[in-house]
Amino acid sequence: MTESLMILIAGPYASGTGGDPALMRRNLDRLEEAAWPLFAAGHIPMIGEWVALPVLASAGASGPTDPLAKDVMYPVAHRLLQRCDAVLRLPGESRGADQDVAIARERGIPVYTALDEVPGVSATTRGVAASS
């Protein structure tokens, strides 16, 4: 068994969406697709939006395009990186994900750019969701 790591999944969320909620949802779905293989390998997947969006809602913000988002979205990721053991950087342009990678590297936290690079993740663990 591989040592369990808390891994921040970083990639495009709002980037390139023009604030379109459907496109942001599609980006979040893409980030979430990486969660199962990480979990199946014994890790704890984490996505900043899983924390930031409820924080925004509880603050009364209208969503990720609300002006308050600038005070929540990036700071949540920065705080999570104080607790995460690694980052999985998914492809696509994203200033926030690039910042996450820069912070991780400053802190000496491993940055993976593909699921297969993550310890314990294999084609077998990636395919388990399809058969369950």
At 2, is the pLDDT very low, low, confident or very high (cuts 50, 70, 90)? low
Domain of 41? 6-125
Does residue 131 fall inside a structural domain? no
**CA distance linking residue 103 with residue 24, whole number of Å:** 24
Residues forming beta bridges with residue 111, ordered by sequence position? 87
Does residue 28 fall inside a structural domain? yes
**CA distance linking residue 123 with residue 21, whole number of Å:** 32
Task: Supply φ then ψ for residue 75, to 5 degrees.
Answer: -60, -35
Residues 110-122, mean pLDDT to the nearest whole number: 95
AA letter at 26: R
CATH number for the domain that contains residue 77: 3.40.50.10400
Residue 107 burial (CB < 10 Å; 0-12/13-18/19+)?
exposed
Give the per-residue pLDDT at 67. Answer: 94
Instruction: Write down the residue that tokens 């705080």 correspond to.
Output: 79
Give the per-residue pLDDT at 122. Answer: 80
User: How many domains are there within the chain?
Assistant: 1
Strands 6-10, 86-89: pairing kind: parallel
Residue-wise pLDDT for 15-60, tens only, equals 999 999 999 999 999 999 999 999 999 999 999 999 999 999 999 9
Does residue 130 fall inside a structural domain? no
First to last CA, the chain: 21
Does residue 132 fall inside a structural domain? no
Residue-wise pLDDT for 57-95, tens only, equals 999 999 999 999 999 999 999 999 999 999 999 999 999
At 125, is the pLDDT very low, low, confident or very high (cuts 50, 70, 90)? low
SS3 52: helix
